[in-house]
Every structure is written in structure tokens, then in C-alpha cells.
Amino acid sequence: MAWSWLTVAAKTIPWATLIRRAPEIIEVSTRLLGNRKANQAAKYASTPPQSEADALLERLKNLEIHDRENAKVVEQIAEQMRDLTNTVEVLAARVRVLLVVVAATAAIVVVGILAALR
């Protein structure tokens, strides 16, 4: 029961689209990673540090920037999980309503069949 949300999520994800666009996604991500590495290399090549302390300060600044970027990504993931949870709750409520409607319809059909047989 704890994994029921995962089943719903797995069914609602457009897997065919993801698979069809996988090469494009990989290409874009590789390009972005290459651009980032090139930018970092250019930045280090253009401004050589004066001393080891300056180099360490620069690395610390880069780590802080990277940490902020990671925090933004984690925040986005948390928002997406919240939205996914809300969506699953709505779907679960709809399934419960549908179950009641189907049960009522089945009961009416059974009563109708029994009435027709008498």
C-alpha cells in the first residue's frame, strides 16, 4: 500500500516521450556540462590566483555557489514531490468516488436482473 503512489506515478509519466527524446536530453545535458567546464576553465585561465590562499578562497566561493545551486535544485524537487503528492491524493479521492459509483451501479443492475427474473 505504501508504494501505491509510485504505481500511479509510473503510469502517469509519459515514458514513450521520455524514451523518444532521450538522445536529445543526453545531448543537451552533455552540451550544458561541456559549457560549464569550458567556462570554469576559461575563468581559471584568465585570472591566475596570486597565492595558494587566493586559490583556496576562489575554490571556497565556487563551492558556496555550487551549494546554493544544489539547494535550488533540492527545493525544486521538493516542490515537485509536493505537487505529485497532491495529485496522487486527488486521484485517490476520485478512485474512491468511482468505486462508490460502480458499487451503486452494480447493486442497481443486480436488483434489476432479479426483478426481471421474477
3-state DSSP: the chain helix, strand, coil percent, rounded to 5?
90, 0, 10
> Mind listing the pLDDT tens digit for each residue in 43-92?
666 556 578 888 889 889 988 988 888 888 888 888 888 888 888 889 99
Task: Note the pLDDT of residue 48.
Answer: 60
How far apart CA 19 and CA 49 sit, in angstroms, is 45
Domain coordinates in residue numbering, the chain: 15-117
Cβ(6)–Cβ(91) below 8 Å: no
> Is 36 in contact with 44 (CB distance < 8 Å)?
no
Q: Cell 503512489 appears where?
A: 5
Q: Amino acid identity of 88?
A: V
